Structure 1
Amino acid sequence: MNHTSVAVAAVALAAITGLGTARAATAGDVEAPSACRPANHLAKITRDRASSGRVHFRVTLTAPKGYAPCKLVGSPTDVAFANHGSPLDVRVGRYGGQTTVVTFGPGHPVHFDICVPNNGHGTPTDEASFTLRAPAGEIPGTSVAEGHFEVTTGTAIGPIQPGA
């Protein structure tokens, strides 16, 4: 195999292995996958503080080292809930400002709120799936968070905020 064939094969292999992954430039021109892609972050649901007539659950997203920071904005979309794998028929709204851009990546966790009316009709739930939004639009793919929480009619999703 001559040098040209080796170079062409290397470029083709790089193109094939790079398909389906968002990439962002990092220091030294080394590229790392974006932390915003669903496969590149972890999401966990925990109970948060209560407010007047509402129960709050915090969905915290973290990204391990090796992923590139990215920008997120507003509340996640396409939110769905399941309990032990069975989908729940609960439609959600969103609340709060939808235009603040937040940086997410290793060392920069983010979170959003699941705000549930405390009306005594909550349905136990252990999974939320959702699509994250970037300033330029939705990020392809579905993220999944797990934890024990509840949902009911009137549940609303808050915007992404910095911090755990």
Structure 2
Amino acid sequence: MRTNRKTAVTLAAVLLAAAAPAVAQASPSTESGTAPSACRPANHTAKITEAPSSAGHHHYRVTLSAPRGYDPCQLASSPKGVRFSDHGSQTRITVGQYGDQRAVVTFGPGHPVHFDIQVPNHARQVSADEASFTLRAPDGQIPGTSFAQGRLKVATGTLIGPLQQGA
């Protein structure tokens, strides 16, 4: 009985040691391709900040960041379906797009991206504290809605720029 127990313990130790590298490979890694995509709305955060104004326009920057543990992904064009709300009440502002809608950017941990919200100065502006939007990949729309928090004012004629590299 004693020999069988030693053999069983030794065999279990050998099996555990052999399985350890496989378990380590199965854990999420941004280099292995096994982690969830940073492009999915639940896997990133977005923040709205004021940006420098230009002639006739106020600008706001929406920066998307992904924490470690998610795979990088490709994003393209301006976000679609952009809506603004203030304290949970949706505004009636609809937006257009400007800029190169064919540009593709890489997004993921350590690789933030941003897009511009351009608001005309001369129009009647309304306050908002949140933007919701749908991201696009080079081959189509990414399922789900992303949300960005931050104070801004929007108006008729607001335009959304394409995604760009950097914060």
TM range (shorter): 0.7 to 0.9
Q: Which runs of 5+ in 2 are unaligned?
A: 1-27
Query: Does the Cα contact within 8 Å between 2:123 and 2:155 map onto a contact in 1?
Result: no
**Please, which of 68, 82, 86 is the counterpart of residue 65 of structure 1?**
68
How many residues were matched structurally? Answer: 140
Distance 1:25 1:48 in 2: 34
Question: 1:111-151 CA distances to partner (integer Å, 9 max, x unpaired)?
Answer: 00000001152101100000000001000000000100010
Letter in 2 for 1:32: A
Structure 1 residue 99 and structure 2 residue 102: aligned?
Answer: yes
SS at match of 2:152: strand
Equivalences for residues 1-164 of structure 1 within 5 A = 26-28=30-32, 31-119=34-122, 121-164=124-167
Distance 2:57 2:90 in 1: 23
Distance 2:84 2:128 in 1: 7
**Partner in structure 2 of residue 18 of structure 1:** none
Distance 1:45 1:34 in 2: 22
Judged with a 3 Å threshold, the aligned counterparts in structure 2 of structure 1 residues 136 and 25 are, in CA distance, closer, same or farther, namely farther
**Partner in structure 2 of residue 14 of structure 1:** none
Percent of residue pairs identical? 61
Letter in 1 for 2:138: P
| TM-score (ref. length: structure 1) | 0.82
SS at match of 1:32: coil
Letter in 2 for 1:147: G
How far apart are 1:27 and its partner, in Å? 3.6
| TM-score (ref. length: structure 2) | 0.81
Q: Which runs of 5+ in 1 are unaligned?
A: 1-23
Runs of 4+ in 1 over 4 A off after TM superposition: none
Letter in 1 for 2:38: A
SS at match of 2:42: helix
Letter in 2 for 1:135: P
SS at match of 2:61: strand
